[in-house]
Amino acid sequence: MLARFWRRREEEAPLRLFVGLGNPGPRHARNRHNVGFMAIDAIAARWHAASWRRRFRGEIAEADLDGVRTLLMKPRSFMNESGRAVAEAVRFYKLPLDRLVVFHDELDLAPGKLRVKLGGGTAGHNGLRSLAACLGSGDFKRVRIGIGHPGHKERVVPWVLSDFARADAVWLEPLLEAVAEAAPLLARGDDAGFMNRVALLCRKAAEGTIRSGR
């Protein structure tokens, strides 16, 4: 019965799936590696998503992003097993991969920078590697959120599994707010519009901070 309900909803309005990558539990909540979770939480709050519920080895909540039905998801397995949860949801809703958007941390972008990319490699990211393996393809959209690189390969794991510094709040909070505000553009497939809107909102936030002297 539940499957028939969701298929009927799918016929009424095509569904999008937004997935944030991260590790579960309070110990990891503010880690750099969890910025994907943070982005999904910000979108859920901004668009008054339905209550989170456990499903597909994760947590899901449905949101209306300015007229676009979107399922928000946070896998509750650890990062290197994220693909199993996402693949279950994709198969259940029979979603083509062009309706899947994955938010994740990106070492190769400076802190506060954001890029949207369709497909590509995994660049050593365990969450992306798991998704590509379980989905049988890496041809899904990625929202790459820059966290910067610690400078040496051997420092990468401690870096991503450490909390954001207090000073990072200057760019992190405005960025997450901007991602949430601009999310409907991404849901409609306007990647360039989404990136431009995020950049504009972050620039306005920075200018406001400078004027206030904070």
Cβ(52)–Cβ(108) below 8 Å = no
Catalytic-residue membership of 33: yes
CA torsion 132-70-25-58 (nearest 10°) is: -60
User: Which residues share a beta bridge with 69?
Assistant: 64
Can you state the angle between helices 126-135 and 82-93, rounded to 10 degrees?
A: 40
CA–CA distances in Å: residue 105 to residues 31, 36, 77, 162: 10, 6, 17, 13
Going across the sheet that includes 114-118, the strands are 53-55, 58-65, 68-75, 16-20, 100-106, 141-146, 114-118
Type of residue at 19: V
In Å, what is the CA distance from 71 to each residue of 74, 125, 140, 159, 191? Answer: 10, 23, 15, 30, 18
- C-alpha to C-alpha distance for 176 and 39, rounded to whole angstroms: 6
- 28, 33, 104, 152: the active-site residue: 33
Q: Which residues are catalytic?
A: 33
